Amino acid sequence: MAELTLRPNGAGDDTEHHQLPDAGDNFDKVNEVVPSDADYVYSSTVVGAGSKDLYTLPAHGLPGGTIINKITLHGRWYKGYNAVGFTGNCRWVVSFPLWDWAEVVTDNGDPAPFSEWFTAFRVHLVNPETSEHWTLDELTNMQIGSYLKYAFRPNVARESRNGHLYIVVDYQPGIVAPTVTTDPATEIT
């Protein structure tokens, strides 16, 4: 078994979150190797639906015949909360191209805490759309991101944030058959 870590490297199909600081691109707020709570994307949507970002991933470079055992999403989150009991919303978003909108919970499965940073992961043993092992084509076309919703009540509001996001691909390398070359036959008399 081997592992490959892929971090966002570009904007995907949706870019709706705001970012802090307000320079650069949204994906560069979540792709650090070591997470930083000083830069992140966040939702400031106070009415209706929240906001969503999707990010592209770099080329995986895995050879044909590779078996993907599982894909694990990792992230760092801040779930908004206000004093009157309204909570924000943090959800994983995976497009392959099916959407997986899973509520974020802590690493040990507890509900997400409010108004503090926490880390979380989500394991996909198979593609939820097909119930089969992930394919290299699905991994090639995958985008990851987040859906965030503001916790709002007049004069008391807290944003939900995403500050770190990446996937780890657990796989078995494909077997590449060796290439054999031969010299043309020589006539013997």
Strand partners, 121: 74
| Fold classified for 2-172 | Jelly Rolls (2.60.120)
Tokens found for residue 55: 């990010």
Query: Tokens 């997400």 identify what position?
Result: 112
Q: Please give the pLDDT value at position 107.
A: 56
Q: Would you state the structure tokens that stand for residue 7, as one six-digit string?
A: 């971090």
Question: What is the mean predicted confidence (pLDDT) over 88-94?
Answer: 61
Count CA atoms within 13 Å of residue 127 on its CB side.
19
pLDDT at 87 over 70: no
| Residue 183 reports pLDDT greater than 60 | yes
Give the contacts of 125 (CB within 8 A, at least 6 positions apart): 69, 70
Give the mean model confidence (pLDDT) for residues 102-116: 61
Q: CA-based Rg of the chain, rounded to a whole angstrom? A: 21
H helix intervals, 23-145 = 136-141
pLDDT for the residue numbered 84? 46
**pLDDT tens-digit series, residues 20-31:** 999 999 999 999
Domain coordinates of the chain in residue numbers? 2-172
Average pLDDT, the chain: 79
Helix (H, G, I), strand (E, B) or coil at 140: helix
Q: What are 88's two structure tokens?
A: 């924000």
Helices (H), 74-169: 136-141
Q: What are the tens digits of pLDDT across the range 120-158? A: 888 889 887 788 889 999 999 999 988 887 665 554 456
- Of 49-53, 64-68, 130-134, 177-181, minimum mean pLDDT range: 177-181
